[in-house]
Amino acid sequence: MIKLILLRHGQSQWNLENRFTGWCDADLTEQGVSEAKKAGHLIKKKNIIFNFAFTSFQMRAIKTLSNLMEELDKPIKNITKAWQLNERHYGALQGLNKAEMAKKHGEKQIMIWRRSYDTPPPPLDNKDPNHPKNMEIYSSINPNNIPDTESLKDTFDRSVPYFKSYVEPILKSEQNILIAAHGNSLRAICKYLFKISDEMIVKLEIPTGNPIEIDLDKSLKILNYSYMDSKRAKEIYFNR
């Protein structure tokens, strides 16, 4: 049986402050570090061994993976950082408080930007110093591939092709994989894996620091799935 573990990073400082984070590099809170370590402990209890792990370019996901690995008996030898696994780009909303933006634009509009499948927020100005095109960490990426804003569909269109090209071949070789990423990049991957409809994906919530354990057969058919911390589990909406 093949194991795929999907893990949203632990609580970040901007999660705590109720801000739109997107591609901004918010750090983990103490609670976020604790969540990452607990995720590692839960994985260790199941005696799951990984040779491969994937994460994003963003500090909160990278640190989540690092803190998780400190809890494991065996190191993960092959770790890949991929910008395609980054959080959804929230455009001009990045860094702003969600409640304040709801007062400014209206709760209905904010919910459309946050939860609709294919409506992105207003774009971030390319000249903004916080635009990823102006950050050294993304200097090796073709600027045409770096978004100014994204809907969940846009996030799906970069995360899922990456998953198919780089993750699935390893799974098909019957090796376990851990992915430490973000709420929306993981929502996109879950949409693909669980065949979640455009209408239902807007309801999917992935809690921070709670590993989703997925059992796959050799053809990558899902046999079983569950959150490791059942007390913090959420509905996945698997369309069998």
- Could you tell me where the DSSP H helices lie in the chain? 13-16, 30-45, 59-69, 98-105, 107-115, 152-162, 168-172, 183-193, 198-201
Select which of 35, 87, 150, 213 is catalytic: 87
The question of whether 105 is a catalytic residue gets the answer no
Distance between CA atoms of residues 18 and 102, nearest Å = 12
How far apart, in Å, are the Cα atoms of 174 and each of 41, 97, 213? Answer: 23, 43, 15
Burial of 48 (0-12, 13-18, 19+ CB in 10 A): middle
The question of whether 9 is a catalytic residue gets the answer yes
DSSP per-residue string spanning 60-77: HHHHHHHHHHTTSSS---
Q: Tell the residue number behind the tokens 């019957």, with chain if given.
A: 174
How far apart, in Å, are the Cα atoms of 82 and each of 12, 114, 176? Answer: 19, 23, 18
Any idea which residues carry the catalytic annotation? 9, 87
